[in-house]
Structure 1
């Protein structure tokens, strides 16, 4: 897992270029069919199209491992982390619902 965190952080640093009127966020997608978690770096400048760049795929399909990885990522970055495809699932440590409603594109 530390290697996953290092890899995601390094790729994110290369892609992040602070510009005015630009929104940046991370997106974590639960791929139930392939049993993996996909990480994307999203950026959108005002009036332009969304750019989504794949960062990493976590093949260890375990919510405990994902929760630890996200906790470490949140300590390293202030970017918003959007979770997609987690409807009905709960975090193992706190039993809080991860995602209440589906996104419009799900």
Structure 2
């Protein structure tokens, strides 16, 4: 499956979950799974005073950061949500040379 097809699949699953409600926060969460060597995509819906809903969208059997960059650019072009990362401590973007997720401080 190409990155365009994967992005379309994630968008097709995420857009129906995105309802423009008052006082509701939506986030796209990307998790690096080092055991299965894949990226997992989730939609998080948070409303104060309610249960936080986490809906799995898709998993990509790749750990190539360039593929992730392309996927996120395709997704963010159509779906303007905050992207949250987990499991990427100390890993840098290939093109931007900045950290995806800052390394944890050692106190």
Say yes or no: does 1:81 pair with 2:66: no
Match of 1:94 in 2: 96
Which structure 2 segments of 5+ residues have no match? none
- Cα distance in 1 between the residues matched to 2:21 and 2:101: 30
Match of 2:13 in 1: 11
CA RMSD of aligned residues (A): 1.1
- Cα distance in 2 between the residues matched to 1:85 and 1:9: 22
Compute the displacement of 1:17 (Å).
1.4
Number of residue pairs aligned between Structure 1 and Structure 2: 102
Deviations for 1:80-100, whole angstroms, at most 9, x for unmatched residues? 010111001011112211111
2:43 partner SS: strand
Say yes or no: does 1:57 pair with 2:59: yes
Compute the displacement of 1:60 (Å).
2.1
Asked if the contact 2:44–2:52 (Cα under 8 Å) also holds between the matched residues in 1, the reply is yes
With structure 1 as the length reference, what TM-score do the two structures score? 0.91
Deviations for 1:48-98, whole angstroms, at most 9, x for unmatched residues? 111000000011221110011111111111110101110010111122111
Q: Which runs of at least 4 in structure 1 moved beyond 2 Å after TM superposition?
A: none
Asked if the contact 2:4–2:74 (Cα under 8 Å) also holds between the matched residues in 1, the reply is no
Which structure 1 segments of 5+ residues have no match? none
- Cα distance in 2 between the residues matched to 1:38 and 1:84: 10
Match of 2:37 in 1: 35
2:6 partner SS: helix
2:69 partner SS: helix
